[in-house]
Structure 1
């Protein structure tokens, strides 16, 4: 319970509020993979497994039906909701000025304001959604050019949203994959990568704990960041899993991000509006998979595999690009 509650404010993106150095030496894996980390990951895996078993019970089915009833309004207007949140986001960054996609990605390009305004206006009609999607991809490319691929690995959610908008505008699927699923996958990858950053650079968040001391609930900052990363990673992975598990994860994550918006204000609200829209869409998605063969025991195995792969990609990729130490 502590982990879910305490990480609400930790969902604020630290790069928007504190000094950071993407090329700096991350905390070495030998220090990340400590006893506290192993205990937290074990608890997260057990929680995930419990959710998978619950889903196959009458109580799990009742929870799904309840979610269906509560979220029917969002489900019937998912596309309109995503478009509205994205409109708010792009009008917000256009008004603030000098921001590519997120507050730390700044640019003085004269192309920026008209491009952001065009993206926002084209969100008003379904037929022009592919134009908005193209504009988002262009902004993402500009950000890669200015900040590098490793920094933008924080934000594949924007490409997921762009794919969703383009496919909805064209009324197409991507090789049989629903547009909402592409957006969901991109969000999961985004949050798993951000979780590793909490473990690799916990010191980036320490200034926030000085200005917002209540969010740590009196826990040691280093332990707090390990817990925040563990909770965020398991919830992100859960977005890839079965209906009840992913919808519960989306509900918890949405609550965390909304709490962060209330704590950190306008910048956080604008910056996280897109991910909140995606989480609401996942929460409202009532699709079931008939004869789903994913057994509950596969969830913790997949979780551990995803954790190992993400840690490997982050640390080996960082070492290759910036000549830093892994172990």
Structure 2
């Protein structure tokens, strides 16, 4: 029975709607209409928040036991053998992602066109530098990538670009290669990616009309739920995935599950999905390889199981409320 538990968790998340990890703004032209805060904080929303907090707290009690299983330890050892390739995967994966974007006339995301000649030139130079197998070339390429991100941010605003904040984390990892700060690179990548997923999830609560349009026009399966309820639940799944990455729970399992979901969304949304999420695929593969061996997650600050449960429960509610309020006010 115990051995069926992680399989049940894995299958449950894999059956989550493929719509969950789609960036809403990529697939709809509906004018964003902000929902009232009263409607966002509905009884359904509050109930799901409490359920999610309890489930996450329980996970903190189960994970250490799961980690001791022989099969899990075997997989952990096998995957750890690929860690020496993680930095190369990130560097060359970033170059390929940029290539796909620039060829399609965009940068960082499908809805961010790159039209200025200088920006196009800098993007191609950054790609070339990232392909050079030397850490100095990597750093120069990362600096150019940072300049491009700042350039796009000036055009679209800080809060808009928080959807793609994981690029800042990627740039950070590339910049600290072969420096005294190298060990903080991948933890920063976990943090940046997790926070980006949380931020994107809130969009579905604050601007539900766009998500509803996608559900209808793309015939996204709602598994028997009303579209409005389905959207709230899908956004929770995405928010929880981001939160789990930040606190350091189930990162390898999450990497596998979310990668599978992204493959499914590619079949539904096509090339736009490939352009937008190729870089995320690369990051998730790195998470699958790395696990959390190098990462001292916040949950480790608390030693007893009770303290860890309370920390995750209360922290999830706090993080959720903070994201919703900040997004509602500024986005």
TM interval, shorter chain, is: 0.7 to 0.9
Alignment partner of 1:314 is 2:327: yes
The residue that corresponds to 2:93 in the other structure is 85
Displacement of 1:46 in angstroms is 2.4
Query: Tell me, what secondary structure is at the counterpart of 1:19?
Result: coil
The residue that corresponds to 1:121 in the other structure is 128
Q: Return the alpha-carbon distance in structure 1 between the equivalents of residues 262 and 227 of structure 2.
A: 20
1:6 maps to which of 6, 16, 21: 16
Alignment partner of 1:281 is 2:286: yes
Q: In 2 relative to 1, CA 227–126 (structure 1 residues): closer, same or farther, beyond 3 Å?
A: farther
Q: In 2 relative to 1, CA 126–181 (structure 1 residues): closer, same or farther, beyond 3 Å?
A: farther
CA RMSD in angstroms comes to 2.3
| Contact map agreement 1:144 1:152 (CA 8 A) in 2 | yes
Correspondence list, 1:66-77, <5 A: 66-72=74-80, 74-77=82-85
Displacement of 1:2 in angstroms is 6.3
Displacement of 1:39 in angstroms is 2.3
Q: Return the alpha-carbon distance in structure 1 between the equivalents of residues 187 and 145 of structure 2.
A: 18
Alignment partner of 1:96 is 2:104: yes
The residue that corresponds to 1:235 in the other structure is 241
Cα deviation per residue 1:61-92 (whole Å; 9 max; x = unaligned)? 32652441342354231111112321221110
Q: Return the alpha-carbon distance in structure 1 between the equivalents of residues 220 and 159 of structure 2.
A: 32
Displacement of 1:4 in angstroms is 5.0
Displacement of 1:31 in angstroms is 0.4
1:17 maps to which of 22, 27, 41: 27
Structure 1 gaps, min length 5 = 319-327
Q: In 2 relative to 1, CA 70–16 (structure 1 residues): closer, same or farther, beyond 3 Å?
A: farther
| Contact map agreement 2:30 2:213 (CA 8 A) in 1 | no
Query: Tell me, what secondary structure is at the counterpart of 1:103?
Result: strand
Q: Return the alpha-carbon distance in structure 2 between the equivalents of residues 60 and 50 of structure 1.
A: 15
The residue that corresponds to 1:265 in the other structure is 270
Q: In 2 relative to 1, CA 113–220 (structure 1 residues): closer, same or farther, beyond 3 Å?
A: same
| Contact map agreement 2:20 2:237 (CA 8 A) in 1 | no
Q: In 2 relative to 1, CA 31–4 (structure 1 residues): closer, same or farther, beyond 3 Å?
A: farther
Q: Return the alpha-carbon distance in structure 2 between the equivalents of residues 37 and 26 of structure 1.
A: 16
Cα deviation per residue 1:149-206 (whole Å; 9 max; x = unaligned)? 22112111111111111112x43417xx520111111111111111110111111122
| Contact map agreement 2:212 2:231 (CA 8 A) in 1 | no
Q: Return the alpha-carbon distance in structure 1 between the equivalents of residues 68 and 301 of structure 2.
A: 17
2:162 maps to which of 153, 156, 168: 153
Query: Tell me, what secondary structure is at the counterpart of 1:215?
Result: coil
Query: Tell me, what secondary structure is at the counterpart of 1:104?
Result: strand
Displacement of 1:238 in angstroms is 0.7
Query: Tell me, what secondary structure is at the counterpart of 1:111?
Result: helix
| Contact map agreement 1:90 1:120 (CA 8 A) in 2 | yes
TM-score of the two chains, using structure 1 as the length reference? 0.86
The residue that corresponds to 2:142 in the other structure is 133
1:183 maps to which of 173, 179, 189: 189
Query: Tell me, what secondary structure is at the counterpart of 2:246?
Result: coil
| Contact map agreement 2:19 2:220 (CA 8 A) in 1 | no
1:162 maps to which of 171, 191, 196: 171
1:223 maps to which of 229, 254, 274: 229
| Contact map agreement 2:110 2:275 (CA 8 A) in 1 | no
